[in-house]
Structure 1
Amino acid sequence: MSILLNRRLILVGALAAAAMSAAVVPVRAVAAPAGRRRFGVTLHPYYSYVANIVGDAAEVVPVIPAGFNPHAYEPRPEDIQRIGGLDAIVLNGIGHDDFAGRMIAASAKPSLPVVESNADVPLLPAAGMAARAAGKVVNPHSFLSITNSVLQVATIARELGRLDPDNAAAYAANARAYSRRLRQLRAAALAKLATARTASLRVATIHGAYDYLLREFGLEVSAVVEPAHGIEPSPAQLAETIATMRKLDVQVIFSELNFPSAYVETIRRETGIRLYAFSHISHGDYAPDLFEREMARNLDTLVLAMAEAAP
């Protein structure tokens, strides 16, 4: 595969209209002759991916400060200026950081090398009628999956190694160690579900962020409440979704952690369906171990939900 430094996936929307093994120390890498490389990221999971890949050989730079909602973020001059000091940027590139294309184009480095993290990931269609109507052709939440995260880590390590060949071997070794820890999280969750009878379990989600994670554990989403991420359903849409969930005998609804909304309580009150919350891994401080910590919590939540609904 080519080096993936083009912008093909940055513009996909327009064209369509680490805690469990913290003691593991990254392989020591050779510092670049001109100093450490600076690799930018846009989202919290990608900070964790890249930080675990590069270790102390490079600096990982979030281009938007912690505390901003990436779904509602609008580029600021100081954030665009930050891009001028990067050697490359690692993107989700399939709809979760569409703002990055505008930032790069307006920066001092409009030809900044871009690593397309999802180039090797099998993508799911966008969830929600409004999302598809707006030209969103794929679900951008690929990072909410252990298997897809491992694929992205491999792609990122390979491409950063091409940009920084002196450290390519270290990046590859670190990526393997990190991916091994992620796979251990998934294996531990699957082991807990070995006797759960989940073949007939039907689930719904508040929005389409969790399709990748649920499919990884053999679950298909029967209904999605929001017509698009962040857009509350109208009363008529909500009534229709509740009727659908009753008809399909949905037993579990997955919402987003710290997602206060009156309609979520309406669903629980009207249906009596069990409600559980996942982390979207898009809030708080950037940290190398954030993805592992939050995914471990998500997997614990998933195991609990499946065990209680299908003992």
Structure 2
Amino acid sequence: MATTVLSRRMALGGLASAAALAAAGARAQAKRLRIGVTLHPYYSFVANVVGDGAEIVPIVPAEANPHGYQPQPEDIKRAMTLDVLVVNGIGHDEWVFKIIEAAGRKDNLPLIWANASVALIPIGGDNGAEKVVNPHTFIATTAAIQQVYEIARRLGEIDPPSAARYRASARDYANRLRKLRADFMQRMPAHAKADFRCATMHAGYDYLFQELGLKITAVVEPRHGVNPTARQFAQTLADIRAANINILFAEKYFGESSLAETVQRETGVKVFTLSHITDGPFTPEKFEVEMAENLATIERAMQAVGP
């Protein structure tokens, strides 16, 4: 189902035409590519693939909240200058398609669909009848590596002379991301007896917990930034109590403290914060730094509950 959704999205949005790719490739020979990105992790992914061989252009300001973002005139101007654009394309940057259309680039801007080769999962904690794929593929090392390789492959098609360098850089970066997870997993046996049962404020961490072999028992928000109804919240509290959940992961960058404090007061859970990796400066190292922090936080939470 998830693959079908992405395929439909790519078909509707349209992959760049052969002419657009050829034009971008020609420009790459004449000057450095201007590669647009929609999210902070994609800046890190692209920067570690291309090095100083291209200019990376964030479409929106660093402090912008990507959830429900409203395009600004400056965003449109930036889109008009791009040679290629990296997108999430499955729900986390829907606003970028409005920007592309407003910039007159709908038919001539090559798009790199970062999730084209990622195995998608349904969004957790969704109380609606229709199940939607979880767009937070960038908050996990395994899915991140798949996206890095997809970005490198597609950039190599646009800029063939640099393709080998892009592939080599992608391998080096992927190895560093694998080491993040490997180091965490090596420490896991020390916490094997931890009485760890967790909930999250919203379903932004399903890919991360899945690759770590950990289970998220409950999700508080039905959608990011959308407070649950009184009935939904009461049911979530009941689920937390029934499952004896002892850890709640809130988010580092978004204003959820009031709701998280209510859950803590009502259920006695311990609250920790994880990074959504969607705020702060755009830097090549941001994804590695904040993913390492997330893994360290999860380990502290496991230590906090004990056996």
Shorter-chain TM-score range: 0.7 to 0.9
SS in 1 for 2:34: strand
- CA offset at residue 157 of structure 1? 0.4
SS in 2 for 1:254: strand
Q: CA RMSD in A?
A: 2.1
- In the alignment, is the contact (CA less than 8 A) between 1:12 and 1:94 conserved in 2? no
Structure 2 residue 86 is the aligned partner of structure 1 residue 90: yes
- CA offset at residue 212 of structure 1? 0.9
2:224 alignment partner, one of 214, 225, 229 = 229
1:169 alignment partner, one of 148, 164, 167 = 164
Change (3 A) 1:104 1:11: farther
- CA offset at residue 8 of structure 1? 4.6
Per the alignment, residue 270 of structure 1 pairs with 266
Task: Give me the TM-score of the superposition, normalised by structure 2.
Answer: 0.88
Cα distance between partner residues in 1 of 2:10 and 2:248: 32
Structure 2 residue 193 is the aligned partner of structure 1 residue 179: no
Structure with more of its chain in helix, by fraction: 2
- In the alignment, is the contact (CA less than 8 A) between 2:195 and 2:302 conserved in 1? no
The number of equivalent residue pairs is: 287
Structure 2 residue 203 is the aligned partner of structure 1 residue 208: yes
Cα distance between partner residues in 2 of 1:59 and 1:282: 20
- CA offset at residue 234 of structure 1? 2.6
Per the alignment, residue 27 of structure 1 pairs with none
Per the alignment, residue 143 of structure 1 pairs with 138
Q: Which letter does structure 1 place at the counterpart of 2:64? A: F
Deviation per residue, 1:181-210 (Å, 9 max, x gap): 111111111111123225863211110001
2:125 alignment partner, one of 117, 128, 142 = 128
Per the alignment, residue 69 of structure 1 pairs with 65
Per the alignment, residue 101 of structure 2 pairs with 105
Greater shift in the superposed pair: 265-274 or 301-310? 301-310
Per the alignment, residue 26 of structure 1 pairs with none
Change (3 A) 1:283 1:154: same
Change (3 A) 1:74 1:309: same
Per the alignment, residue 301 of structure 1 pairs with 297
Cα distance between partner residues in 1 of 2:12 and 2:259: 31
Cα distance between partner residues in 2 of 1:199 and 1:243: 23
Matches within 5 A, 1:150-165: 150-165=145-160
Q: Which letter does structure 2 place at the counterpart of 1:118? A: N
Deviation per residue, 1:98-145 (Å, 9 max, x gap): 111111122132221111111111111023335x45x66101101000
Per the alignment, residue 58 of structure 1 pairs with 54
Task: Give me the TM-score of the superposition, normalised by structure 1.
Answer: 0.87
- CA offset at residue 273 of structure 1? 1.1
Cα distance between partner residues in 1 of 2:226 and 2:10: 23
- CA offset at residue 11 of structure 1? 8.2
Greater shift in the superposed pair: 97-106 or 199-208? 199-208
Q: Percent identity?
A: 48
**Unmatched runs of 5 consecutive residues or more in structure 1:** 1-5, 14-30
